[in-house]
Amino acid sequence: MTQVSQKTRSGMSIKGFSLALATLSSVIWMGTSIFIPGLPEIGRDLSMSSQQLSATLTLYFISFAAVMIVAGPLSDAWGRRNFVFAGLALFCLGSLVCPITDSGTVFLIGRVIQGLGVGLIQVPTLAMVRDECPGPEAYTVLGLLGAMTALIPILSMLIGGVVIEQFGWRFVFYILAGVSIASGFASLYLGETLPKENRLPKVDFAGSLKSYRAILLSDQILLVTGPLLMFAVFQGAYLIITPLSLETDFGLTPTGFAIANILVIAGMIAGQLSAVKAVKKYSPKKLFMLGAIIGITGGVLFSILEMTSSMSHVIIFMAPLTVLGFSFGFIEPISLKSLFTKFKESSGMASASYVSLLLICQGIGSTVAGMLMDGSFSPQTTLSIMITPLGILMAMLALAGREKLL
């Protein structure tokens, strides 16, 4: 059995370190999820189509991904801390732009600013794990971080649902501005995790482009994180489809929609915690493949239920999606530990590469879902069209990638 330290490299407790990182992650994922229950209302107030509503996520993801490409090598050369504070300031600004407009275009500009901000936050957040946890304790941190950050979307959607019903969708963006300020104070606990002697001697963008190319074309990205990227396509579609489906097809209020999502988030948390325990006893390669098989099971089950018109209740709708969420949570810490082990000298760029691809895939998912729903497909049918092939790809990539795990 692998012995895992309870302290980070600089002496912080594993749980305290994970909690501090989760505080930063709360800004990122609240920005993705807190307004989701209000999408129908936002569409009505700002006269936005389904495709335009999907852009509220797509543009956030794209700007998020783009800024990380630059932030990755810079954080490896200059350290982590200043990027966190700059990102929090940008996110706060974008959060204040969104609620003051009656224009869909200006609203989307605010979302882009938010995305730029969280891009500056996310790179150091993941890279800090490598800085402080170079050994097997990284499994614990990634698992705990994943579990805590999985709670954030559902809690923020619950908050968002209640706030939107009582005060309207605009108020949730003022909440986001307040959270970014509070997270700035909380992040002071972390300090600078990358000592000067461990930093890159200079910022070499030409060299960084070569490093990015090597990372992006590596087996660790294409195969080991491949199942996570396929899940991200589904996740992007899910975030656009489910508020429309659950509030329209099942008559749920924004708060009811948020409550229904507890099942999926619970599945993700259960998967992450199960992987953290299982990897201490069993081969990561076997667990990696098991997680992908569970994923394809959830995808196929959803399609069967939809094709047979068996989704008569919201619990039936959510059950196979919960299985898919468990799969993602189960695979995630195993994949990320392998990625950061391979690129331990450029963990900032590895983090930027992975999360950028994750966000691009989420953007693809939300865009395709918006296009299909603007056409002739219902929300449920749209999700069914996308979920089964993505589950199959998850399993295929896991089969190909399990021998590449480190």
What is the rounded CA–CA span in Å between residue 358 and residue 342?
A: 19
To 10 degrees, the CA torsion angle through 58, 63, 69, 70? 180
- Tell me, yes or no, whether 97 lies in a domain: yes
CB contact at 8 A, 203 and 77:
yes
- Tell me, yes or no, whether 132 lies in a domain: yes
C-alpha neighbours within 13 Å on the C-beta side of residue 334 = 37
pLDDT tens-place values along the chain, 406 residues long? 444 456 777 667 777 777 778 778 788 878 888 888 888 889 889 988 877 888 888 888 888 878 877 777 777 777 777 888 889 999 999 999 999 988 989 999 999 999 999 888 887 877 777 777 766 667 667 766 666 666 777 788 888 888 998 899 999 999 999 999 888 887 777 777 677 776 777 767 677 778 888 888 888 888 888 888 888 888 888 877 877 777 777 777 777 777 777 788 788 888 888 888 888 888 888 888 888 888 888 888 888 887 877 777 888 888 888 888 888 888 888 888 888 788 876 666 777 788 778 878 887 888 888 888 876 777 778 888 888 788 788 778 888 887 888 7
Token reading at 251: 């008559």
- Tell me, yes or no, whether 3 lies in a domain: no
Looking at the structure of the chain, the number of domains it has is 1
Whether the predicted model's global pTM rises above the 0.85 cut: no
To 10 degrees, the CA torsion angle through 119, 226, 126, 199? -90
- Tell me, yes or no, whether 2 lies in a domain: no
Structural domain boundaries enclosing 156? 14-192+204-404
- Tell me, yes or no, whether 198 lies in a domain: no
CA-nearest of 154, 58, 160, 181 to 99 is 160
- Tell me, yes or no, whether 6 lies in a domain: no
- What CATH number is given to the structural domain containing 80? 1.20.1250.20
Question: How many beta carbons lie within 10 A of that of residue 305, not counting itself?
Answer: 18
- Tell me, yes or no, whether 167 lies in a domain: yes
What is the rounded CA–CA span in Å between residue 326 and residue 269?
A: 7
CA-nearest of 29, 43, 265, 315 to 164 is 43
What is the rounded CA–CA span in Å between residue 401 and residue 288?
A: 9
Q: Which letter does DSSP use for residue 36 in this model?
A: G
What is the rounded CA–CA span in Å between residue 108 and residue 58?
A: 10
- Tell me, yes or no, whether 98 lies in a domain: yes
